[in-house]
Amino acid sequence: MNGVNMNSEPLTNCRFVKEEHISNGDWLSLAKITYLDQRGIPRVWEDATRLTRNEDTAPDAVGIIAFYRRLLHYDCIILVKQYRPALKAYTIEMPAGPIEGNEAPDMAAVRELKEATGFVGVIKKIGPVLAMDPGASNCSMRLVTVEVNGDEPENWHLKSNVNNERFREPLLIPVSELLDKLRAFAAAGFIIDSRIDAFAIGLVMGNHSRKTKIPTTLL
């Protein structure tokens, strides 16, 4: 795909040179990466890597866009609330988690959704490999769309899950109210995951006519 590049030097000339290990924790590894920029000048970058990452597969995690549907009820999206030590705050996120071993992304999504909410869903779509935080780590993920049939007895009730030291409280949010609810959570002091916030903004934009200017006050 062609785009407009205002720089005189092509960015495609950047090249990886080497990676040097710095330190390991229990879950993350820190490394120093040397690369050549578009002018051929050596540069150094620090990178965090999950130790659970399988070098033979990409990605190393899944994020789940899970819709909860019942007959004669509003469609809802399933989110989770949890405490994130790195942020020193509670967050509102989509269900997500690492791919274990040689697990396929769809199987990882079904497992993570079950662990986080107790719900059993059906895979609808698996997206491409996406960067999670490319400025700080090489972590990548696939977004998996899942549909949960709320009329099935196994999906009648949310179930909070405690997995080792990880506690996640599941939430059901009407799709039509998603952005408003996220803004309310943010006002209450929660940190909103960027992926679900971008998804909510996309829903608002998509629901407006292409002929109508989207009011930025909604975003």
- 96 and 198 co-located in one domain: yes
Inter-residue contact 90 to 128 (CB < 8 Å): no
Q: For the chain, what is the domain count?
A: 2
Q: Is residue 5 one of the residues assigned to a domain?
A: no
- 15 and 71 co-located in one domain: no
Domain hosting residue 36, numbered range? 11-50
Could you tell me the pTM of the whole model? 0.83
How does the average pLDDT of the chain come out, rounded? 86
Inter-residue contact 61 to 97 (CB < 8 Å): yes
pLDDT digits (tens, 9 = 90+) for 165-211: 668 899 999 999 999 999 999 999 999 999 999 999 999 888 764 44
- 41 and 99 co-located in one domain: no
Q: Is residue 56 one of the residues assigned to a domain?
A: no
Percent of the chain with pLDDT over 90: 60
Q: Is residue 131 one of the residues assigned to a domain?
A: yes
What are the structure tokens assigned to 106, written together? Answer: 């769809």
- 188 and 82 co-located in one domain: yes
- 109 and 199 co-located in one domain: yes
- 44 and 141 co-located in one domain: no
Residue 147: is it exposed, middle or buried by C-beta count within 10 angstroms (0-12/13-18/19+)?
A: middle
- 15 and 99 co-located in one domain: no
Q: Is residue 29 one of the residues assigned to a domain?
A: yes
